[in-house]
Amino acid sequence: MNSTRLEMDSIGSRPIDSHVYYGVQTQRALENFSQLGKPLSAFPRLLTAMAQIKIACAQANARTAELAPHLARAISQACEEIIQGQWHDQFPVSLLQGGAGTSTNMNVNEVVANRGLELLGHNKGEYQYLHPNDHVNCSQSTNDVYPTALRLALYYQSQTLTSALSELVQSFNNKSQAFCHINKVGRTQMQDAVPMTLGQEFAAFGQSLAQCKHRIQAASAHLLNVNLGGTAIGTGINASADFRAHALNNLSQITGLSLKHSHDLLQASWDTGDLVDISSTLKRLAINLSKIANDLRLLSSGPHCGFNEIHLPKMQPGSSIMPGKVNPVIPETINQIAFDVIGKDHAVCMAAEQAQLQLNAFEPLMAECLFTAMDRLTIGCQLLREKCIEQIEANTDQCEKNLRHSHALATLFNPLLGYKITSELINESNQLNVPFVELVQQRKLLSRVQMQGLLKST
């Protein structure tokens, strides 16, 4: 059996396995929230951000003489180890939790304290030498540490997402160039409309995603405004103005980011509008990806009784009963990712709306939704690019056949024949089952030069 140490908090005491680095408050969180979802260890960017903040604050506290230099060094070294990937198994608390993130902050405080105690030559739990609250959390509150860490982590993750999105945009642009010579039918309201090229269709896909990328980048830039130093509700209680300035400067140097204090720290303690904004850009991306996935499924439908204008790569058999059937499984996956992200955006909005008085207690839900949405969108962009777009082939013959047998070309003749005559020819084309262009040629309504000029313009 594992040996234990006894730890106490304001509620009472709990036996803690002697080998673990977390303490009594983390243990209580495990008892309350462990079945809710993924643990903190599954979100390394958030752990990195928390550790960076603890270093910045320890250094600031040492500079303002709130913390002895040897304690600041121990805290910093323990945090550096976390940043390097050590001790991540010591963060078992569910990301989704009550308490506005207090369990997350205390899990970090306890691990840092106990690892720091070892570095100082003491045993875990000997908090008289290095305390999770009095020392590791000095001049801080969950209410400024957790939101700051969340913003940093989301900013880091947004960079990964936009990188994957950039690669997907380039893949669409490459296909646009490859398909620029292939004429086809453009459609509105699922009906034949006017001529276009397959290259134009893919270029539009890429442009829509490029716009999504720019909006995500613009929204993520606002995440660099933080409320560190505001402590409990933004008034900065138990933290000096000097600490606030030093901590932010230290954190900027540690992260390499141009961090700024929010204009009003009280407002920043409860207003999660920036998280709503970033969520809305993720929803927009999800909607655009889903629309593109729908189009890819339509354009590849058939293969014999559908549009059949493009060939998607064959990824796996599509039926347990229908031999030879192949389904568009990658676009279908993108649709499902999009549905999930759209739902998570609604959860983020509801959590933001529930801020009460000087604090929003529901940032843990917002964190889980945003991290999951970004992660799934990143994977989705990679999946769509690697297993679909890069391997798409055009069915040139079918594109041109569809165009020849549709009335999409008729719009080109409007300026020369007029709307009335063009409409009459379309009706006659339907009755005789003769392509519109052939009917114009038979009636000699235009010269060969005029016909060639119009058709060449497609």
Choosing from 357, 373, 396, the residue where a domain stops is 396
Q: What is the DSSP string of 276-327?
A: HHHHHHHHHHHHHHHHHHHHHHHHT--SSSS---EE----SB--SSSTT-B-
Query: pTM for the whole thing?
Result: 0.92
Per residue in 253-280, pLDDT (tens digit) is 999 999 999 999 999 999 999 999 999 9
Tell me, yes or no, whether 216 and 150 share the same domain. Answer: yes
Tell me, yes or no, whether 72 and 121 share the same domain. Answer: yes
CB count in 10 Å sphere of residue 285: 27
In a domain, 244, yes or no: no
Tell me, yes or no, whether 299 and 437 share the same domain. Answer: no
Tell me, yes or no, whether 174 and 294 share the same domain. Answer: yes
The domain that holds 431 is classified in CATH as 1.10.40
Amino acid 182: pLDDT: 96
- Between residues 105 and 432, the one the model is more confident about: 105
Which one-letter DSSP state was computed for residue 135?
I
Two tokens, residue 237: 């209680």
Amino acid 445: pLDDT: 84
The domain that holds 219 is classified in CATH as 1.20.200.10
In a domain, 246, yes or no: no
Tell me, yes or no, whether 132 and 151 share the same domain. Answer: no
Under a CB-based contact definition with an 8 Å cutoff, are residues 405 and 397 in contact?
no
Tell me, yes or no, whether 323 and 225 share the same domain. Answer: yes
Per residue in 27-72, pLDDT (tens digit) is 999 999 988 889 999 999 999 999 999 999 999 999 999 999 999 9
In a domain, 383, yes or no: yes
Tell me, yes or no, whether 292 and 386 share the same domain. Answer: yes
Question: Which domain covers residue 350, as residue numbers?
Answer: 145-237+251-396
CB count in 10 Å sphere of residue 1: 4
Tell me, yes or no, whether 116 and 182 share the same domain. Answer: no
Tell me, yes or no, whether 75 and 202 share the same domain. Answer: no
In a domain, 403, yes or no: no
Q: Which long-range contacts (CB under 8 A, 24 or more apart) does 127-134 make?
A: 130/71, 130/74, 130/75, 132/23, 132/25, 132/106, 133/109
The domain that holds 100 is classified in CATH as 1.10.275.10
* Angle, helices 142-178/198-221, rounded to nearest 10 degrees: 160
Amino acid 452: pLDDT: 77
Active site residue 280: no
Amino acid 406: pLDDT: 84
Tell me, yes or no, whether 53 and 153 share the same domain. Answer: no
In sequence order, what are the residues at sequence separation of 6 or more whose Cβ sits closer than 8 angstroms to the Cβ of residue 297?
328, 331, 332
Amino acid 84: pLDDT: 97
Choosing from 96, 119, 138, the residue where a domain stops is 138
pLDDT over 80 at 437, yes or no: yes
In a domain, 242, yes or no: no
Tell me, yes or no, whether 271 and 381 share the same domain. Answer: yes
In a domain, 245, yes or no: no
- For residue 421, give the H/E element and its range: helix 419-432
CB count in 10 Å sphere of residue 447: 9
CA distance 53 to 139: 12
Strand residue runs (E) in 345-450: 393-394
In a domain, 132, yes or no: yes
Amino acid 27: pLDDT: 95
Q: What is the DSSP string of 26-80?
A: HHHHHHHHTTSS-BGGG-HHHHHHHHHHHHHHHHHHHHTTSS-HHHHHHHHHHHH
In sequence order, what are the residues at sequence separation of 6 or more whose Cβ sits closer than 8 angstroms to the Cβ of residue 94?
29, 33, 34, 35, 36, 37, 38, 39, 40
Tell me, yes or no, whether 151 and 84 share the same domain. Answer: no
Choose, from 163, 301, 319, 423, the residue flagged as catalytic: 319
pLDDT over 60 at 1, yes or no: no
Choosing from 347, 373, 396, the residue where a domain stops is 396
**Can you tell me whether residue 220 is helix, strand or coil?**
helix
**Can you tell me whether residue 184 is helix, strand or coil?**
strand
Per residue in 205-251, pLDDT (tens digit) is 999 999 999 999 999 999 999 999 999 999 999 999 899 999 999 99
User: How many domains does the chain contain in total?
Assistant: 3
Give the CA angle between residues 267, 270, 272 to the nearest 5°. 100
In a domain, 401, yes or no: no
Under a CB-based contact definition with an 8 Å cutoff, are residues 310 and 392 in contact?
yes
